[in-house]
Amino acid sequence: MMDQLVIGGRSLQSRLFIGTGKYSADTLIPEVVKKSGSEVITVALRRIDFNSPTGNVMDHIPSGMQLLPNTSGARNAQEAIRIARLAKAAGCGNWIKIEVISDNKYLLPDGYETIKATEVLAGEGFVVLPYISPDLMVAKQLVEVGAAAVMPLGAPIGSNRGLKTKELLRILIEEIALPVIVDAGIGKPSDACEAMEMGAAACLLNTAIASANQPELMAEAFGMAVAAGRKAYLAGLGRSEKYASSSSPLTGFLHN
């Protein structure tokens, strides 16, 4: 059975997106990519120095990966738009993750500025994947202005706390026609599996892999968890019962 995720005209086999930050060494990235099976990798433009004589993170991203530059550091729509254009001019392609954060304490995304940036960049032909709080009205407006997907957080970014916004995520999955990619806060493979069982189109995570004792092994675990969750969703989860229910019939017993 073919079950591909299609975004911006590209078909993806893997529904796990990964990041490039927080690793003890960028040299770990190729093996993490291999073990995870991921085809999409996000990178902050501010971490790229194409003129560095000692190399940079881009040197460790395997060819064939779909680059998803992000606008990390942008505090408003204008800054996000500028970063996106710079990324495209630098040869990073036309996919962009819009990340607009003006809140320094909780690092929550600014929905209003995100919508403005998405509208401009989608109009310029970018494949825009905006990072948002799981707000239905914001998500609906992003659909209207041309987003290719919506990426609601499961918990505060970098927290590894899991799906603290589960009920709100469920609403977005039910109401938004675009792919809903759970981004931020996922801490364990079981969190990713649960998100996929709910019907999320994909999961994007970084800290949970990069901060693990064995990032390569954790990447493999997440790849398996996302795949398992997706299969469970497609199969249709069994009905939950309030009381015990025998799995074998109570008739047909042997008689003397």
Per-residue pLDDT at 65: 92
Q: Which is the catalytic residue, given 97, 116, 164, 188? A: 97
How does pLDDT run across 229-248, given as a tens digit for each residue?
999 999 998 777 666 666 66
CB 182, CB 225: distance < 8 Å: no
Lowest mean pLDDT across 112-116, 226-230, 235-239, 248-252 = 248-252
Alpha-carbon distance of 81 to 88, in angstroms, equals 11
116 in active site? no
pLDDT at 213 over 60: yes
Q: Are 201 and 14 in contact (CB under 8 A)?
A: no
Orientation of helix 77-89 relative to helix 111-123, angle to 10°: 40
